[in-house]
């Protein structure tokens, strides 16, 4: 019995010793039992860390050394911008000299809204029929008459041509068609009128178009001309007598305001004798409903720069009411005339004051500092 107990004790002791010695190997085996994918991830991470250590310091150093305002080309561009800005701030924003007449050129009738499209018969058609269509202006107001012209070129000789159209808005098509009449000797020019007074008011919306159907022989061709329609928010009635006041020529404009709100006004003052555009004028003001007055002011500095004492013509007047909260569109206003005559005065009737905008000057100084060239580092 004692022999059996001893053998059992010896076996248990041997098992315990074996377990103690084998346990580290199992743990080590577990740590090394990593899948090939995991090993690849570990290798990639180590490679990225090594590349980062190699690349990062030069990249960071290069970034620290790059200063766009140390580049001489950029400095020159900043300096050029500063020169242009310096010229602009010699005059009020509301009285800027016009350097390029094309910037304020007025559209000729039927120019602004013109659409011209070719209609080839097939891919080999080198001289396709072309349809050009336009309205006499782009912005119309209540009770205006819209004049539409259509011209068909390159049509086969002898074929019959007919044109009709439908006026359409965002609320749908108007119920009646527009019938066009031939207005040219060769029967390729057509015109028609659309009287807004005869249209259902609910179908006249700010964005309007005329959908045209042009029949050339056995071909039906289609194109569209867009225009704008509005019930005027105000109306310029007249230009009251202008007069010098301090350093400015004050030009009062008499208005009839149908909808009170904040209004923006601009126009072009041109020399009456030469027709040369002189100054772009701007003004803004909150106006109540009823009779009101807005003022355009031409500064003596701008008048002298353009070397014109007048008389003048005020033209290309544009006025609109800014959209209030809850409104989707600005509301354009109309004018009783396309231009007004403005009296001129000798420069001696004005206060000869140089225009100075201190805040603008500070911005100019900042631009100059950005574009300044520092040669101290080269010496």
pLDDT tens digits for range 278-288: 999 999 999 99
pLDDT score of 26: 39
Domain boundaries, the chain: 68-97+232-367, 115-230
Out of 17-21, 52-56, 152-156, least confident range: 17-21
Out of 5-9, 89-93, 346-350, least confident range: 5-9
Taking each helix axis from N to C end, the angle separating 72-88 and 358-371, rounded to the nearest 10 degrees, works out to: 160
Closest CA to 291 of 242, 330, 237: 237
Q: Taking 70 as the threshold, does the pLDDT of residue 9 lie above it?
A: no
The predicted-structure confidence for 347-367, as pLDDT tens digits, reads as follows 999 998 888 777 877 787 777
More reliable by pLDDT, 172 or 89:
172
Give the residue-averaged pLDDT of 329-336: 94
More reliable by pLDDT, 143 or 83:
143
More reliable by pLDDT, 111 or 278:
278
Both tokens of 324, joined, read 């209030």
Give the residue-averaged pLDDT of 23-32: 41
Contact 166, 203 (CB under 8 A): no
Rounded Cα gap, residues 232 and 332, in angstroms = 6
Q: Is 316 left (phi over 0), alpha (psi -120 to 50) or beta?
A: left
Encode 169-213 in three state secondary structure. ECCEEEEEEEECEECCCCCCEEEEEEEHHHCCHHHCCCEEEEEEE
Q: Alpha-carbon dihedral of residues 235, 240, 243, 247, nearest 10 degrees? A: -10
Q: Taking 70 as the threshold, does the pLDDT of residue 4 lie above it?
A: no
The predicted-structure confidence for 214-263, as pLDDT tens digits, reads as follows 999 999 999 999 999 999 999 999 999 999 999 999 999 999 999 999 99
Encode 288-322 in three state secondary structure. CCEEEEEEEEEEHHHHHHCCCCCCEEEEEEEEEEC
Q: Taking 80 as the threshold, does the pLDDT of residue 21 lie above it?
A: no
More reliable by pLDDT, 106 or 33:
106
Distances (CA, A) of 146 to 45, 115, 138, 182, 365: 73, 16, 9, 17, 52
Both tokens of 228, joined, read 């704008």
Which CATH number, 2.40.50.100, 3.50.50.60, 2.60.40.1930, 3.20.20.60, labels domain 115-230? 2.60.40.1930
pLDDT score of 292: 98
Percent over 90 (pLDDT), the chain: 60
79: Cβ–Cβ under 8 A, 6 or more apart, which residues? Answer: 368, 371, 372
Both tokens of 232, joined, read 């005027």
Give the residue-averaged pLDDT of 49-67: 50
Distances (CA, A) of 67 to 78, 162, 379: 14, 67, 20
More reliable by pLDDT, 121 or 146:
146
pLDDT score of 141: 95
Q: Taking 90 as the threshold, does the pLDDT of residue 11 lie above it?
A: no
More reliable by pLDDT, 197 or 184:
197
Give the number of C-alpha atoms closer than 13 A to the C-alpha of residue 379, restricted to the C-beta side. 3
In the CATH hierarchy, which fold is given to the domain comprising 68-97+232-367?
A: Immunoglobulin-like (2.60.40)
* Range of 20-24, 60-64, 88-92, 152-156 with top mean pLDDT: 152-156
Are 68-97+232-367 and 115-230 in the same CATH fold?
Answer: yes
Q: Taking 80 as the threshold, does the pLDDT of residue 13 lie above it?
A: no
Return phi, psi of residue 362, to 5°. Answer: -65, -40
Give the residue-averaged pLDDT of 122-147: 94
Q: Taking 80 as the threshold, does the pLDDT of residue 28 lie above it?
A: no
Total length of the chain:
379
Handedness of CA 246, 251, 256, 261 (dihedral sign): negative
């Amino acid at each position: 019995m004692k022999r059996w107990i001893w053998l059992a004790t010896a076996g248990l002791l041997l098992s315990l010793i074996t377990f103690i010695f084998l346990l580290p190997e199992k743990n080590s085996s577990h740590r090394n039992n990593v899948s090939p994918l995991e090993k690849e991830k570990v290798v990639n991470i180590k490679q990225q860390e090594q590349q980062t250590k190699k690349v990062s310091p030069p990249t960071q150093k290069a970034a620290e050394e790059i200063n766009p305002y140390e580049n001489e080309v950029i400095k020159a561009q900043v300096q050029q911008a500063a020169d242009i800005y310096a010229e602009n701030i010699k005059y009020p924003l509301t009285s800027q000299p016009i350097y390029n007449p094309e910037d304020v050129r007025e559209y000729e009738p039927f120019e602004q809204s013109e659409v011209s499209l070719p209609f080839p018969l097939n891919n080999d058609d080198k001289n396709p029929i072309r349809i050009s269509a336009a309205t006499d202006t782009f912005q119309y107001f209540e009770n205006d008459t819209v004049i539409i012209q259509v011209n068909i070129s390159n049509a086969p000789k002898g074929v019959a041509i007919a044109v009709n159209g439908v006026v359409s808005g965002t609320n749908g098509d108007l119920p009646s068609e527009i019938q066009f009449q031939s207005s040219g000797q060769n029967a390729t020019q057509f015109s028609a009128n659309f009287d807004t007074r005869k249209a259902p008011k609910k179908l006249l919306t700010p964005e309007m178009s005329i959908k045209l159907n042009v029949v050339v022989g056995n071909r039906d061709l289609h194109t569209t001309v867009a225009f704008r329609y509005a019930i005027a928010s105000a109306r310029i009635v007249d230009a009251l007598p202008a007069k010098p006041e301090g350093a400015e020529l004050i030009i009062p404009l008499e208005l009839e305001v149908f909808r009170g709100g904040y209004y923006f006004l601009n126009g072009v003052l041109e020399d009456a004798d030469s027709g040369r555009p002189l100054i772009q004028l701007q003004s803004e003001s909150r106006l109540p409903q009823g009779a009101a007055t807005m003022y355009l002011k031409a500064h003596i500095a701008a008048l002298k720069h353009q070397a014109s004492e007048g008389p003048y013509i005020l033209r290309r007047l544009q006025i609109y009411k800014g959209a209030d909260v809850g409104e989707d569109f600005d509301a354009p206003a109309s004018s009783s005339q396309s231009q007004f005559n403005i009296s001129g005065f000798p420069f001696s009737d004005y206060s000869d004051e140089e225009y100075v905008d201190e805040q603008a000057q500070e911005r100019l100084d900042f631009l100059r500092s950005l574009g300044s060239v520092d040669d101290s580092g080269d010496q």
